[in-house]
Amino acid sequence: MLNLTEKQETFSKQVPKNLFANTLYFILNVLIGLFLVPFFIDSLGVASYALVPLATSLTGYVNLVVQSLNTSVSRYLTIDLQRKEFKEANITFNTSLFGILGIILLVLPFVILISYYVPLFFDIPTNQENTARILFLGVTISFLLRAWGSNFGVSLFAYNRLDLQNLVNAVNILVQVGLIILLFKLYSPSLVYIGLAYLIGAIAALILTIIFSRKINPHLKVNIKEFRRSKVNEIIGMSGWVIINQIGTLLFLQIDLIVVNKLFGTVAGGEYSVVLTWSMMLRTIAGMLVGVLTPVILTYYAKGRIDELINISKSTVKFTGLAMALPIGYICGFATQLLSLWVGQEFAKLSLLMVLMLSHLIINLPVMPLFAINIAYNRVRVPGIVTFFMGIGNFLLAIMIPYLTGWNYYGVALAGAIMLTMKNTFFIPWYATRVLGISRTTFVNSMIPGVFAMIITAGVSRLISNYFQISGLISLLICGIVLTAVYLSIIWEFGLKKLEKQTARSFIPVKIRSRASLEAECDR
């Protein structure tokens, strides 16, 4: 179960609330994501649309140092606050707040310079050069604002108020989309308005984050006198290796779009982006599940409750695999129908690319909870080195496979599938067991049920799509609902052990659990 201590019952009760909030935010993301892609394609065209995900992917590199520092700060600040060491927490907070502000001010001239010369780096239509510059500038600055504001958001993370974090994120995305639609309708479709909408959304999210932080955690005060150079060294000591890890991760997750743009042009980049939307959506689902339990893992570590940390990590790996098996299998099985109904019959040709990009995620997403173990134990050096060099290998392979085989962007997707699966099948689970001092196969065994479940789900979905007429959204939804009901029934009955069922029940809000127990007693 998730109870931490008798005095921390509130912390534990927050978990189902966070899961519910994450679910709502995910649904919002899915609805907006599915709406925006065809909206952008219809309004801007495939070539211009390709610049939008390209701009957001480039921000990952600009935002690299800041986000890595925030990862390190989250670890130290969560431990300080859970141990009620508020003086030390204030030093950590202010050192990070003003340190990251200094880094952003140093980075800003380079951001402006890169945005201005972005037409030299990428294949951009000649009539879109100036609008592309403003798009990249607006999106990048918005990411920097969100990154600096996350210093305040650490308090929400430390006290397990991920529901409020999701509210902030929801406001950010709703402001973005609302302004984009409004400006497109009032004036004309333009990349400029997208960059402006991202910037205004980030400002709104920053203000809301500060308000929530002060309400949840009044112990932290903004005070430049609390800045400590000695603390900088401590934070950088960890974040330096996190940066290396993040560079490797970006070479895995975001270099492919840049490679496709440079090698095959903006139209190919637009087509690749269409499928990449589904990959990012599935990563969001996994992040939603894992994000709920990351504060719990750090708190177990802070309290020295290592057995509970191990058990919840094993359960989370298995739950994530089984949870992701359903959507991955369903999307792969109905890839042709989904693409046709979503963006048009002309994109049905991308179904093989979708299967190639999504199927390996059943291995690569369930290992996400294990990253929190490395952060908690401050064992990030070796994973950083391995991820960095394998990321370089992915970049080289993404260029070599299309060149040697002529497989176009299919070769780029294949390179990512090969390298990412190798890392997350062999190294990540093994290293986590080494940190914890447990059996090497512990987490690999937890991943196996999800792999089998995905293969079976994809096979059944494929058979249905071949032998039944799936021509509309209603029939596709009905198939999804029936498959989901059958899948959940089988998994609950045969896929989970008694202790895992108890853990799963702890994700359900207390009031619903109590009502269900009362009704069960009445039935008896």
CA angle 513, 515, 516 (to 5 degrees): 65
Residue 104 near residue 63, CB atoms below 8 Å: no
pLDDT band of residue 363 (cuts 50, 70, 90) is very high
Domain extent listing, the chain: 13-227, 264-386+426-507
* Separation of alpha carbons 330 and 458, rounded Å: 6
pLDDT band of residue 497 (cuts 50, 70, 90) is confident
Residue 96 near residue 73, CB atoms below 8 Å: yes
* Separation of alpha carbons 355 and 121, rounded Å: 30
Q: Position 401: which residue type?
A: I
| Residue with tokens 């890392």, as numbered in its chain | 423
pLDDT band of residue 61 (cuts 50, 70, 90) is low
Q: pLDDT higher for 28 or 363? A: 363
Q: pLDDT tens-digit profile of 230-259?
A: 777 766 666 666 667 777 777 777 788 889
Residue 298 near residue 312, CB atoms below 8 Å: no
What's the pLDDT at 459? 94
Q: Position 443: which residue type?
A: F
Q: Average pLDDT in the 265-289 region?
A: 84
- DSSP SS3 for 182: helix
Q: pLDDT tens-digit profile of 333-362?
A: 999 999 998 888 888 899 999 999 999 999
Helix (H) or strand (E) holding 354: helix 351-358
Q: pLDDT tens-digit profile of 76-131?
A: 777 787 777 888 888 888 888 888 788 788 888 888 888 888 887 777 777 778 88
Q: pLDDT tens-digit profile of 3-13?
A: 444 444 454 56
- DSSP SS3 for 406: coil
* Separation of alpha carbons 44 and 41, rounded Å: 5
Which tokens is 435 given? 């940190």
Question: What rounded mean pLDDT belongs to the chain?
Answer: 82
